[in-house]
């Protein structure tokens, strides 16, 4: 197995303290948003044998195992992260697999460079993801009941919001949500900026349930995404709770520290809360306008002590072990590749002790076990 040395990405929305506290190091004063564990070419983990992506490229069957290569090809199908939000991330959705393949092929045929700022599809893969809270974790996920969104807007007492309030009371609900999001994203920029400013001031005065929108507007003044956020369910995860985000579900993370796992893709369509490109027609084609409960996940325990976060896709499987002093070792040998991430205590993978924030890659089929006290997340695939 290999101890991983991982890259921390300094995105502007990152917390300046959460990842350093996990790692037990002094903050630098700069934002530290995401620590990547995996073989993504943008920031592959490093090992004593070389970068993880190069190890896999050199011998995918040995590192990933025949079942994984047969099902997903010669690449690690998932990317594991520690995510630390100190400010809201962009409001976004991800395409399903068919949409990603079609969109990528169309942009390739059009000759759009893969790193162009206005490019939507940087690969041909979907990007389902799961976020599991390490601290109380605040986010927005999926559309709420349109009547509830209408009440939230109406309570602000802003005259220019009344047309949106009226639309949200229309039926069917899916059409009402589509019309309002379309209107927000295609409105005159100066007019919508004025509405956002008024709404933000009113939200700050009201406080309570409206405080979230005032805080979002503080980071993204004049952005129509502040109003779009009112269409979504607000969720606060407690440590150990998780959210699964499938294709077409609008979401944004607001603050907190969590473990995130996703299919190995970079495909993001943004709705707002960002200075980056927003392709409204393509976004509206991908978004699923279905009001629903965000569906908080809690892990399901097995006799071995492994607690599984059950999701409907195969590119990743996330579980955790919460081990007490004196617990018997747990066999971890598997025919698929694994990344083990410690977040508390000092457990050991094989003979490799892991402090909080440290991780290890276990190639497919390598005999290993988990011992010692602490909390460890296990990332692998279903193959």
Which residues participate in catalysis according to the annotation?
Answer: 270
8 Å CB contact between 37 and 45 = yes
Q: How far is CA 254 from CA 25, 53, 188, 278, 285, in A?
A: 24, 31, 27, 19, 25
Q: How wide is the angle at C-alpha 227 spanned by C-alphas 224 and 233, nearest 5°?
A: 130
Q: Which backbone phi and psi does 311 adopt, to 5 degrees?
A: -130, 160
8 Å CB contact between 200 and 217 = yes
Sign of the Cα torsion 315, 57, 104, 106 reads negative
Distance separating alpha carbons of residues 347 and 349, to the nearest angstrom: 7
Q: Pinpoint the alpha helices (H) of the chain.
A: 18-23, 52-58, 60-64, 66-72, 97-109, 146-154, 162-168, 173-186, 189-206, 211-219, 225-228, 280-286
């Amino acid at each position: 197995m290999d101890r991983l040395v991982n890259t921390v990405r300094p995105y502007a929305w990152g917390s300046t303290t959460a990842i350093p506290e996990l790692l037990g190091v002094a903050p630098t004063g700069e934002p530290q948003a995401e620590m990547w564990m995996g073989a993504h070419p943008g920031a592959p983990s490093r090992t004593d044998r070389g970068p993880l992506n190069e190890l896999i490229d050199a011998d995918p069957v040995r590192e990933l195992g025949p079942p994984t290569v047969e099902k997903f090809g010669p690449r690690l199908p998932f990317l594991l992260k520690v995510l630390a939000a100190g400010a809201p991330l962009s409001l976004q959705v991800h395409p399903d697999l068919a949409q990603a393949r079609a969109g990528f092929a169309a942009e390739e045929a059009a000759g759009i460079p893969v790193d162009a700022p206005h490019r939507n599809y940087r690969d041909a893969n979907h990007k389902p993801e799961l976020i599991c809270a390490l601290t109380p974790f605040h986010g927005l996920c999926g559309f709420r009941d349109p009547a509830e969104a209408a009440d939230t807007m109406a309570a602000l007492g802003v005259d220019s919001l009344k047309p949106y309030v009226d639309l949200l009371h229309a039926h069917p609900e899916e059409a009402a949500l589509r019309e309002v999001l379309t209107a927000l994203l295609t409105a005159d920029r100066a007019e919508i900026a004025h509405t956002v400013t008024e709404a933000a001031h009113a939200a700050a005065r009201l406080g309570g349930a409206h405080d979230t929108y005032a805080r979002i507007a503080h980071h993204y003044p004049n952005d129509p995404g502040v109003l779009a956020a009112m269409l979504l369910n607000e969720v606060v995860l407690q440590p150990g709770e998780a959210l699964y985000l499938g294709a077409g579900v609008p979401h944004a993370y607001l603050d907190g520290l969590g473990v995130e796992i996703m299919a190995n893709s970079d495909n993001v369509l943004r709705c707002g809360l960002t200075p980056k490109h927003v392709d409204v027609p393509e976004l509206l084609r991908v978004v699923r306008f279905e009001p629903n409960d965000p569906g908080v996940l809690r892990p399901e325990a097995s006799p071995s002590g492994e607690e599984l976060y059950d999701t409907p896709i195969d590119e990743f499987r996330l579980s955790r072990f919460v081990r007490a002093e004196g617990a018997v070792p747990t066999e971890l040998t598997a025919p698929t590749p694994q990344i083990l991430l410690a977040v508390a205590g000092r457990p050991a993978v094989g003979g490799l002790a892991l402090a909080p924030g440290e991780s290890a890659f276990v190639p497919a089929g390598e005999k290993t076990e988990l011992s010692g006290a602490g909390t460890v997340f296990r990332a692998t695939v279903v193959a």
